[in-house]
């Protein structure tokens, strides 16, 4: 295991260009197998979740290759409906192949999905929706098996607007007989983009203003090329990096229409936002203040994926803030690590009370999931002294070349093998001032 070392306290300045959306591309990669031909995804991010999806597609018999920043998938020769456990169990989005395999082959077998540890992430809504389409599903201790040679359209009302369940039902319904109506569907931008991707393949899909999605089953799909929208979560992370360091960072290719809630929260803290064409600049040189309540919610509310990075910002804001997490009950894992850096955070159930301090201090901390890793990187950039983050590789699941981009903005970041740290400890060398050891916990 290695750690990343950040010498913080330096304002960041400069411009970054956004990658394609992680949360949009993963269901599209599952959707590629619906058509026995070639699908191309322009502006595809080279992140670990995409690489894992490529391995999964290749295990199913697909041919996958890069054409510059475009990823091409030829699914004409799928040879199995079983997803290997060593691949499927490590990624949350593997569950989306359940609906896609049912749609293409009428059968599917996959391990329970993995991904970040964020508390209960049940798949019951996925399975309920697929069963209503006519799939027969059996769950064992190790895997999920599904059969449905002739899926039939129906009306499905989701109890919660789950993004993953909406995507899985969409993927299964595209080739089903008749019409499928999804009520209380998720409204995240990534849902709309998945629908456009499938429409470009010839699918008959309509999204109604009330949030309903209507799918008329198609006999077959066609080759397609789709350009991915920019990643709104990565955009928010870089804007926060500029603000939390008291610097000025410009993000190009901004998905403005998808970030209204995020921009409103940043403005509420006093961060200056300047729009210039397709770019947005966050200026934190004037400081920022706490907010009375930040509450995560399904789109168009504030995204849970930016809650941890916002916790870092509010830890150093003037005044007291309150965060209420309504999506994942374990999103507050980052709080204990920020406390090691001096943050004043009190947790009560799904709420966090944060009393801002002027400066965090460098420490040894550990990341346990993707967005928490991003939050700790932001904390290290703001903190005085040296911050060492183990488990930082989670960040590669969703951020393309983030450390290279931060270095170009002026960050002092380097990678350090753990063996060097252990050797220093054995020799009795003093630790950096302001750091403290952390015992790793799984």
CA-closest candidate to residue 56, choices 22, 97, 102: 97
Report d(CA 415, CA 401) in Å as an integer.
14
Q: What angle do CA 91, 59, 124 make, to 5 degrees?
A: 40
Please report the DSSP string for 114-131 in residue order.
Answer: -----S----HHHHHHHH
CA distances from 346 to 291, 321, 325, 340 (A): 16, 11, 14, 13
Whether the CB-CB separation of 238 and 12 falls below 8 Å is answered with no
Residue whose token pair is 């990534």 = 190
Q: DSSP letter for 256, please.
A: G
CA distances from 354 to 197, 245, 282, 293, 430 (A): 41, 18, 22, 11, 32
Q: Is the peptide bond before 143 cis (omega within 30 degrees of 0)?
A: no
End-to-end CA distance of the chain: 13
Report d(CA 97, CA 27) in Å as an integer.
8
State the pairing for strand pair 344-348/294-295.
Answer: unpaired
Exactly one of 62, 109, 116, 195 is catalytic; name it.
Answer: 116
Confirm whether 116 is a catalytic residue: yes
Phi, psi of 305 (to 5 degrees): -65, -15
Distance of CA 188 to the CA centre of its chain: 12
Phi, psi of 359 (to 5 degrees): -150, 135
User: Max alpha carbon distance in the chain (Å)?
Assistant: 72
Report d(CA 99, CA 130) in Å as an integer.
7
Whether the CB-CB separation of 283 and 245 falls below 8 Å is answered with no
Whether the CB-CB separation of 306 and 371 falls below 8 Å is answered with yes
CA distances from 268 to 236, 261, 271, 289, 359 (A): 15, 11, 7, 8, 20
Q: Is the peptide bond before 300 cis (omega within 30 degrees of 0)?
A: yes
State whether the Cα torsion 289-295-300-306 is positive or negative: positive
Q: DSSP letter for 150, please.
A: T
Phi, psi of 205 (to 5 degrees): -135, 135
Phi, psi of 334 (to 5 degrees): -70, -20
Residue whose token pair is 């309920």 = 128
Annotated catalytic residues are 116
């Amino acid at each position: 295991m290695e750690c990343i070392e950040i010498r913080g306290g330096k304002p960041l300045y400069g411009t970054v260009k956004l990658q394609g959306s992680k949360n949009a591309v993963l269901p599209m990669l599952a959707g590629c197998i619906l058509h026995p031909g070639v699908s191309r995804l322009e502006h595809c991010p080279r992140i670990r979740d995409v690489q894992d999806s490529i391995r999964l597609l290749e295990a199913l018999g697909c041919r996958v290759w890069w054409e510059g920043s475009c990823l091409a998938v030829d699914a004409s020769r799928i040879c199995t409906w079983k997803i290997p456990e060593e691949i499927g169990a490590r990624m949350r989005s593997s569950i989306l192949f359940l609906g896609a395999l049912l749609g293409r082959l009428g059968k599917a077998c996959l391990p329970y999905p993995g991904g970040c540890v964020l508390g209960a992430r049940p798949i019951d809504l996925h399975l309920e929706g697929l069963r209503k389409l006519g799939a027969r599903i059996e769950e064992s201790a190790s895997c999920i098996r599904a059969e449905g040679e002739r899926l039939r359209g129906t009306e499905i009302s989701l109890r919660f607007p789950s993004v993953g369940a909406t995507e899985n039902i969409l993927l299964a319904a595209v080739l089903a007989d008749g019409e499928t109506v999804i009520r209380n569907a998720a409204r995240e931008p990534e849902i709309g983009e998945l629908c456009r991707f499938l429409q470009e393949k010839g699918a008959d899909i309509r999204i109604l203003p009330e949030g309903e999605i209507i799918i008329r089953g198609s006999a077959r799909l066609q080759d397609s090329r789709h350009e991915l929208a920019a990643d709104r979560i990565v955009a928010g992370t870089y804007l926060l990096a500029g603000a939390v360091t008291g610097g000025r960072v410009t993000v190009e290719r901004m998905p403005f229409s998808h970030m209204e809630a995020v921009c409103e929260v940043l403005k509420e803290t006093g961060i200056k936002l300047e729009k210039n064409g397709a770019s947005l600049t966050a200026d934190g040189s004037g400081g920022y203040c706490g907010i009375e309540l930040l509450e995560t919610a399904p789109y168009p509310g504030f995204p849970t994926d930016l809650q941890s990075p916002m916790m870092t910002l509010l830890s150093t804001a003037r005044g007291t803030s309150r965060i209420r997490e309504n999506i994942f009950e374990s999103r507050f894992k980052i709080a204990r690590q920020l406390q090691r850096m001096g943050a004043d955070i009190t947790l009560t159930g799904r709420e966090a009370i944060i009393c801002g301090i002027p400066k965090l201090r460098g420490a040894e901390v550990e990341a346990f999931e993707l967005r928490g890793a991003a939050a700790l990187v932001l904390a290290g950039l703001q903190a005085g002294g040296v911050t060492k983050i183990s488990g930082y590789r989670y960040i590669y699941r969703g951020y393309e070349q983030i450390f290279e981009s931060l270095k170009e903005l002026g960050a002092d970041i380097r990678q350090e093998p753990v063996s060097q740290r252990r050797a220093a400890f054995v020799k009795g060398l003093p630790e950096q001032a302001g750091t403290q050891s952390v015992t790793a916990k799984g």
